Chain A
């Protein structure tokens, strides 16, 4: 009998996830060639993750709304018409032929956020023009005085304080009592906890949640359908799951950049404690996704630890310990953490070079030689075709950049070619040039 997940060793968990990625259960390939392509692509990626030399350098440009622009749609179109998202992302992958796809998750379902009166972001047609991407609306959604509540019970804090602030339709949830009250039959324990559910505003909020749920279900049908279709066509999904550095969760989502920076001076201990509280939460988030999708890669977009955002000492104190703990936890669960170091990271190389070698480091702006020497000698690395070159450069500029990065990063394997930032209105021809040049010149002899 197959071992239960919790009884497996980290190596067995990793083997399980990799095997499900390489041989997806229930996959129906369009043709023997598609199956060969699919497995060839996953193997190429796995070889790179394992610091081996694949047959050639794998190429996976990072996507934002590129597929929409590529097909003449706006971001609004693909956020509000899931069939257009499906069509655009399919056509883009088939025509550009990268080594993996990134699902259609980059086009979140607009109607769900409309229903919820979501305030954390502006999105096409809702605060920003229909032809541009969704963008974060930073704010102090948690006050500095609320650290103790967050630390005491993050889930309850999210449910009764944070959600009511970031979703207009969730305001009434502020009257809920902690679910952990429901421990006894005695009246003030469980029955009293149900009282808020009887009042009309909470009932309205729940009805809205149900509507949002129905819409999300409709959307996830397209997501699943897209994934199955791309597998059938021979393209694996790159991402198993995703989660964030605890410091970014506090900084991006709860306190805002400014608030978080003040906290580093005014209440550093609470900031650190809150980050620690998010470690198991983030591990679970990443692992759940990887297990559900049968792919070991867990994406961690890194934001507030970039060069300039704090000094070395602050990075080592506030940012790194809990990020490292999350990645170690993911590795124990068989995952391949993929921290994507957005922005400059030259000043962090000395710290991150000693992280566990299962980690796949993605870079944006970086000294190529130093990154390869310090991090790439132990870790697989990804990056870093500058989005500026892809967006405004000529064909020759793109070819030169791709060749340069193959020479430096690609040497001896362990490298996946990526873009430095997500592609949006990038010219399709430049993207094709990037991928084709990588295929032509990235072959390992």
Chain B
């Protein structure tokens, strides 16, 4: 029976997925092909999440399995075989807020989906975000915040981007526990995502034209 890495990962069978990866490496299979198969498994995870069959623990656990697969495959990757990226996305938890769980899931899912993600971490000062947009030329920005104090930090960040003349070229999504359409309006963002998958879908919509 053929060993199906995509299925094992999609079904969150950790031990099996790791064993298959190891077997493939031992049989000298192409490292990029192994990662592509893992990518198919992650597609399954994303689809099941969108359908409401998978939840946050499943996403996080799939990320852990993928991390272990990557770790095994990495030494076999030759230079110049990095995946083609879909576009640039900057993600940051805004100033004053140090929450990262939701942000990290989004960063991970964007990365898996093939985007070049600039994860700026938590409690990111406004000016650093402005500088990053200039430096990278990214056209999609995601601002995360769990606390209500993030409302103003998001608003001020977006105002600073406007003042720097960067807002028009930029699509901005916000996200976090207390984010609603009212807050989108208040902060001047374009929209918000309730889940990491919604965030990925927004990035796809904005960047894959």
Residues of A within 8 A of B (CB): 122, 127-129, 131-133, 135, 137-138, 257-258, 261-262, 264-266, 308-311, 314, 342-343, 386-389, 391-393, 420-421, 423-426
Contact = CB atoms under 8 A, between A and B. Distances in A.
B60 A391 contact: no
Contacts of A309: 55-57
8 contacts: A128-B96, A138-B100, A262-B60, A309-B57, A314-B57, A387-B148, A392-B186, A423-B148
Contacts of B12: 265
A277 B179 CA distance: 36
A308 B61 contact: no
Contacts of B148: 387-388, 391, 421, 423-426
A386 B180 contact: yes
A403 B173 CA distance: 31
Contacts of B191: none
A384 B30 CA distance: 55
A137 B122 CA distance: 11
A129 B97 CA distance: 9
Given A133-B149, A262-B61, A314-B55, 4 more contacts: A122-B98, A132-B147, A309-B57, A392-B186
A127 B98 CA distance: 9
A339 B131 CA distance: 44
Most chain-B Cβ atoms within 10 A of its Cβ — which of A128, A137, A309, A342?
A: A128
Interface string B1-34: 0000000000010100000000000000000000
Interface residues of B, number: 30
A308 B55 contact: yes
Contacts of B149: 132-133, 424-425
B96 A129 contact: yes
A352 B19 CA distance: 41
Contacts of A392: 151, 182-183, 186
B13 to A, nearest CB: 10
A311 B55 contact: yes
Contacts of B137: none
A387 B178 contact: yes
B182 A388 contact: yes
| 6 cross-chain pairs, A with B, having the tightest CB-CB distances, nearest first | A261-B57, A392-B186, A132-B96, A388-B180, A261-B60, A388-B182
Contacts of B60: 257-258, 261-262
A391 B151 CA distance: 9
B190 interface: no
Contact of B14 (A265, A308, A342, A420): A265
Interface in B79-106: 95-101
A215 B178 CA distance: 35
A262 B123 CA distance: 27
B182 A310 contact: no
A309 B101 CA distance: 12
Contacts of A387: 148, 178
Contacts of A131: 96
B129 to A, nearest CB: 16
A129 B148 CA distance: 15
A342 B177 CA distance: 9
A132 B99 CA distance: 13
A334 B84 CA distance: 63
Contacts of A391: 148, 151
A264 B96 contact: no
A135 B14 CA distance: 33
Contacts of A343: 177
A132 B147 CA distance: 9
A119 to B, nearest CB: 13
B152 interface: yes
A425 B55 CA distance: 32
B147 to A, nearest CB: 6
Contact of B55 (A127, A310, A423): A310
Given A135-B98, A392-B186, A128 B14 contact: no
Contacts of A423: 148
Interface in B164-181: 177-180
Nearest to A342: B177
Contacts of A137: 98
B70 interface: no
Contacts of B61: 261-262, 264-265
Contacts of B151: 388, 391-392
A257 B105 CA distance: 12
B183 A261 contact: no
Contacts of B182: 386, 388-389, 392-393
B195 A308 contact: yes
Nearest to A132: B96
B64 interface: yes
Contact of A262 (B55, B64, B183): B64
Interface in B159-209: 177-180, 182-183, 186, 195
A261 B97 contact: no
B57 A310 contact: yes
Contacts of A388: 148, 151, 178-180, 182-183
Nearest to A131: B96
Nearest to A69: B149
Nearest to B64: A262
A262 B147 CA distance: 26
Nearest to B96: A132
Nearest to B54: A311
Nearest to B12: A265
Most chain-A Cβ atoms within 10 A of its Cβ — which of B123, B152, B178, B183?
A: B178
Nearest to A423: B148
A261 B56 contact: yes
Interface in B101-135: 101, 123
Nearest to A318: B57
A261 B14 CA distance: 14
A424 B148 CA distance: 7
